[in-house]
Structure 1
Amino acid sequence: MPDIDWEGMFMFSASPLEIIIRGTVVYWFLFLVFRFVVRRDVGSVGIADVLVLVIVADAAQNAMAGQYKSISEGCILVSTIVFWNFLLDWLSYRYPKLGRLAQSGILCLVKDGKMLRKNMRKEMVTEEELMSKVRQQGLEDLSQVRDVYMEGDGTISVIKREP
């Protein structure tokens, strides 16, 4: 049977408070980056999005962990991140004004069948991406569309024109 260092697996090499502070600072930094910089998700996750998440996770790991070595330290760090995520969701639900700060608002991309190119540029939505979403709704062109919105979570909603 292999020699297992049971004590070393659960002993702290860093202060639990330090782990909580590191986790908190990195959580809020990443939250702000993803809230204000990486908003767009035109309905699916692309390979570049996955790559960014992996790189961010790897880069953030050392900042948060401070080279922790035990399971206990890892559990405290994960609990800190989950706590902030849960608290932000709860506060956003309880206080709608905070929810509007935590998530982007909706943005109209098409109004009465006409593309709003300024808004499309703002969110870097190409005409091809927009038309793909329109076709996914079974529509052939914008004359059949009343409005198209980019929702706060980055998804695109298409509202059909009434016949």
Structure 2
Amino acid sequence: MNPYLDIIIRSTAVYLFMVIALRVFGKKELSQLNTADVILILLISNSVQNAMVGNNTTLWGGLAAATILFAINFVIKKLLFNSKKFSDFMLEKPEILIHNGTLDFKTLGKLNITSDELKEAMREHGVEFFKDVKIAMLEIDGNISIISGDKVLKQTHYKRRKNHKNLIQGN
């Protein structure tokens, strides 16, 4: 077999495995990674390197692997944009955390969001009490959006950070 075709097949297999593994373990966005997650990704990248290029440690072998990874990533992004079914499979849905001042404890528990974390998001949105929240949602990108009943709405940005208990449990 052509050594570069071998690299293309191996790299494609590793890429698809990683996409599926990250989906199964729930990691959605790089912004949600903590230190342990970054270490995991670095170790995984080191462990799958040989699986992608085999014995070919040449510059051209590495460039071939990198090129196919960029190409696959480009195709997946196009599919996410153009295919609702694929997008629904790959991306998680927004989740309602608070509705009209009432916390959804089942959803908060499922997503491992603490009340302290929710209060932090509320403060960043200028809301002091749960009762003042019209709706709070965990968006697909990891942001917590909060809309208050206040007539003067403020736009702020709160990016949810994962804590140490949620190493590879993304939701």
Name the TM-score class by shorter chain.
0.7 to 0.9
**1:117-136 paired onto structure 2 within 5 Å:** 117-136=105-124
Aligned to 1:148: 136
Number of residues of Structure 1 aligned to a counterpart in Structure 2: 150
Query: Quick check: which has more Rg, 1 or 2?
Result: 1
Provide the rounded CA distance (Å) in 2 between the counterparts of 1:29 and 1:42: 18
Task: Note the C-alpha offset of 1:99.
Answer: 1.4
Counterpart of 1:100, as a letter, is: D
Task: Note the C-alpha offset of 1:97.
Answer: 2.4
Provide the rounded CA distance (Å) in 2 between the counterparts of 1:95 and 1:89: 10
What TM-score, normalized by structure 2, do the two folds share?
0.78
Question: Residues 47-102 of structure 1, C-alpha deviation per residue, up to 9 Å, x if partnerless?
Answer: 22222221222222222222431111111101111111110111111122221212
Q: Which stretch has the larger CA shift, 153-162 or 33-42? A: 33-42
Structure 2 residue aligned with 1:16, among 4, 27, 44? 4
Contact 2:32/2:142 (<8 A) preserved: no
Provide the rounded CA distance (Å) in 2 between the counterparts of 1:134 and 1:94: 34
Question: Residues 96-131 of structure 1, C-alpha deviation per residue, up to 9 Å, x if partnerless?
Answer: 222121211111111112211111121111111111
- Bigger RCO of structures 1 and 2 (CA < 8 A, at least 6 apart): 2
**1:37-52 paired onto structure 2 within 5 Å:** 37-39=25-27, 44-52=32-40
Q: Which stretch has the larger CA shift, 120-129 or 81-90? A: 120-129
% same residue:
27
RMSD (CA atoms): 2.1
**1:25-104 paired onto structure 2 within 5 Å:** 25-39=13-27, 44-104=32-92
Provide the rounded CA distance (Å) in 1 between the counterparts of 2:43 and 2:127: 38
Task: Note the C-alpha offset of 1:44.
Answer: 4.9
Contact 1:35/1:104 (<8 A) preserved: no
CA spacing shift, 1:52–1:130, aligned 2, 3 Å: farther
Aligned to 1:3: none
Is there any run of 5+ residues in structure 2 with no aligned partner, and where? 152-171
SS of 1:149's equivalent? strand
Structure 2 residue aligned with 1:108, among 96, 102, 106? 96
Provide the rounded CA distance (Å) in 2 between the counterparts of 1:55 and 1:70: 21
Q: List 4+ stretches of structure 1 deviating above 6 A.
A: none
CA spacing shift, 1:160–1:42, aligned 2, 3 Å: farther
Aligned to 2:157: none
